[in-house]
């Protein structure tokens, strides 16, 4: 069956549909030896489809993983600085999966990876605003904490107010917070805390939508999501 190449590459877990268009624009995709362009169609079962010379097979079974990303690991599939990547942590997965969004190098916690391009697009598209909750340990003055839940501008973008709950207060002005954000801008939590004069000591993502980090997972471990968990993510991201 002939389909748009963007859909084929997304369904094979190569990249999102938007990223596929960029690959084609730079001439990285060929069909039967001919350079493809955005909007072209192909048959994944019979055509020779390649990205940077690597052949892409037909539609694979869909896999979505929950990884407990440790601090110090970068959310990329490869790294020119030879840092440890999330791709190395999920080598046991039978298909190539891509990260759903990002966690910065020094943050830890729940990271989803999938070869389901439609789910990846739905969870990361700005219009869907899937909430994400982080457990954040900060040091600073108590009177600065309310500022985290007020409207603020990050990198020129007016973010929606976060939901903030103080979980515990420790000596020396240390607080453990649960912060729920809606957009997921680059390093958003860290930038919010910096604007409020708070120093981040530890940042761990504990949920995406209603999906919570599995307490049985240790840093660096992963598991497949159940069909019910994937379906819940589809509903929350507006897919179902």
Per residue in 73-101, pLDDT (tens digit) is 999 888 889 999 999 999 999 888 889 98
Which candidate in 40, 104, 131, 214 is catalytic?
A: 104
Task: Provide the pLDDT for residue 240.
Answer: 60
pLDDT band at 58 (very low <50, low <70, confident <90, very high): low
pLDDT digits (tens, 9 = 90+) for 126-172: 777 789 999 999 999 999 999 999 999 999 999 999 999 999 999 89
End-to-end Cα spacing for the chain = 24
Sign of the CA dihedral with 38 first, then 44, 47, and 50 last: positive
Task: Provide the pLDDT for residue 184.
Answer: 80
What does the DSSP 8-state code read for residue 17?
H
User: Mean pLDDT across the chain, nearest whole number?
Assistant: 90
Q: For residues 122 and 104, what is the distance between their CA atoms, to the nearest angstrom?
A: 21
Q: For residues 203 and 135, what is the distance between their CA atoms, to the nearest angstrom?
A: 6
| Helix (H) or strand (E) run with residue 211 in it | strand 211-212
Which residue has tokens 């990198």? Answer: 155
Catalytic residue check, 121: no
Q: For residues 38 and 230, what is the distance between their CA atoms, to the nearest angstrom?
A: 29
Q: For residues 107 and 73, what is the distance between their CA atoms, to the nearest angstrom?
A: 9
208 burial class (0-12, 13-18, 19+ CB within 10 angstroms)?
buried
Q: For residues 240 and 231, what is the distance between their CA atoms, to the nearest angstrom?
A: 8
Please give the model's pTM, rounded to 2 decimal places: 0.78
Tokens of 54: 């690597």
């Amino acid at each position: 069956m002939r389909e748009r190449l963007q859909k084929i590459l997304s369904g094979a877990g190569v990249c999102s549909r938007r990223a596929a268009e960029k690959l084609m624009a730079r001439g990285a995709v060929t069909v039967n030896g001919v350079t493809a362009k955005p909007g072209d169609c192909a048959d994944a079962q019979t055509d020779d489809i390649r990205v940077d010379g690597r052949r892409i097979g037909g539609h694979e079974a869909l896999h979505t993983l929950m990884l407990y990303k440790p601090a110090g690991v970068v959310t990329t599939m490869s790294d020119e600085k030879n840092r440890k990547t999330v791709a190395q942590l999920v080598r046991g997965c039978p298909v190539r999966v891509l990260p759903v969004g990002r966690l910065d190098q020094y943050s830890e916690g729940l990271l989803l990876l999938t070869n389901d391009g439609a789910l990846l697009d739905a969870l990361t598209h700005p219009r869907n605003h899937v909430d994400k909750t982080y457990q954040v340990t900060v040091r600073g003055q108590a009177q600065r904490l309310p500022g985290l839940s007020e409207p603020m501008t990050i990198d020129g973008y007016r973010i929606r107010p976060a939901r903030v709950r103080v979980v515990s207060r420790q000596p020396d002005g240390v607080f453990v917070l649960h912060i729920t954000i809606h957009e997921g801008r680059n390093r958003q939590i860290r930038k919010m805390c910096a604007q409020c004069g708070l120093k981040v000591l530890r940042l761990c993502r504990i949920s995406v939508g209603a999906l919570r980090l599995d307490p049985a997972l240790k840093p660096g471990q992963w598991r497949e999501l159940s069909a019910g968990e994937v379906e819940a993510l589809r509903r929350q991201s507006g897919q179902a």
